[in-house]
């Protein structure tokens, strides 16, 4: 258990970031506003967590427009998907004994 | 996934507290010094997380002496064990889809 504990990915092991990554893993991509609604967080809070995930290359951020409305689309990367899978394995190792 | 997300127990969903609870679940009880060594944390850090878990009645703290040496023993409660089991179910629901 203890070896697994020290392998916990702290980038993912935070409630909002786990929510973002899980939603992206399930849907491949999502709009900023969708994540905000689903996770019930403020713009600023969501933005800071997305920035950290982007910095770690777990997701990509694409900004565009839908008519005049700005549209921010998040997409999970291969690295992010792998990190999420590993995170789950680590948590299982910690908790299943 | 999103319903499970909102059920994450934030008392447990913190790396050090998850480590404490998992070690106690595996061994039923543990000494403060053992937890400190296993989790590689400072006295102050470990104490503050134990205090929060105690406040939530997830563990009990028993202070005694081994000769002249103070001995602090932590024991998981039924409530703590149930909370940990539920936490694992919630994480599985979030990540297994």
Say if the Cβ atoms of B6 and A95 lie within 8 Å: no
CB A49 within 8 A of CB A17: yes
**Distance in Å, alpha carbon of A11 to nearest chain B alpha carbon:** 11
Is the pTM higher than 0.95? no
**Per-domain residue ranges for chain B?**
2-95
CATH of span B2-95 = 1.10.10.10
Q: Do A5 and B96 touch (CB under 8 A)?
A: no
Of B15, B38, B88, Cβ closest to residue A95:
B88
Q: Do A39 and B94 touch (CB under 8 A)?
A: no
pLDDT at A83 over 80: yes
Q: Do B10 and A8 touch (CB under 8 A)?
A: no
Tokens of B29: 């009880």
Question: At residue A96, does pLDDT exceed 90?
Answer: no
What is the tens place of the pLDDT at every residue in A28-82?
899 999 999 999 999 999 999 999 999 999 999 999 998 998 899 999 999 999 9
Query: What's A82's DSSP letter?
Result: H
- Among A69, A30, A70, residue whose Cα is nearest residue A50: A30
Give A3's Cβ-side CA count (13 Å radius): 3
Is 90 exceeded by the pLDDT of residue A11? yes
Are the Cβ atoms of A1 and B22 closer than 8 angstroms? Answer: yes
* Residue ranges of chain B whose pLDDT lies below 50: none
Give how far B62 is from chain A: nearest CA, Å: 23
Nearest to A90 by CA among A23, A6, A19: A6
Q: Find the length of chain A.
A: 97
Chain A residues whose beta carbon lies within 8 Å of the beta carbon of residue B1 = 22-23, 26
ipTM: 0.88
Question: What pLDDT score was predicted for residue B97?
Answer: 60
Q: What gap in Å lies between CA A70 and CA B47, rounded to an integer?
A: 47
Residue of B62, B1, B56 lying closest to B31 (CA atoms): B62
* Residue A97 binned pLDDT confidence (cut-offs 50, 70, 90): low
């Amino acid at each position: 258990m203890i070896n697994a504990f020290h392998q916990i990915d702290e980038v993912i092991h935070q409630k909002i970031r786990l929510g973002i990554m899980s939603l992206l893993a399930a849907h491949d991509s999502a709009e900023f506003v969708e994540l905000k609604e689903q996770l019930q967080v403020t713009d600023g809070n969501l933005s800071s967590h997305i920035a950290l995930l982007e910095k770690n290359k777990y997701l990509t951020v694409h900004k565009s427009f839908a008519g005049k409305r700005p549209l921010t689309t998040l997409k999970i990367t291969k690295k992010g998907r792998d990190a999420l899978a590993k995170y789950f394995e680590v948590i299982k190792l910690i908790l299943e004994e």
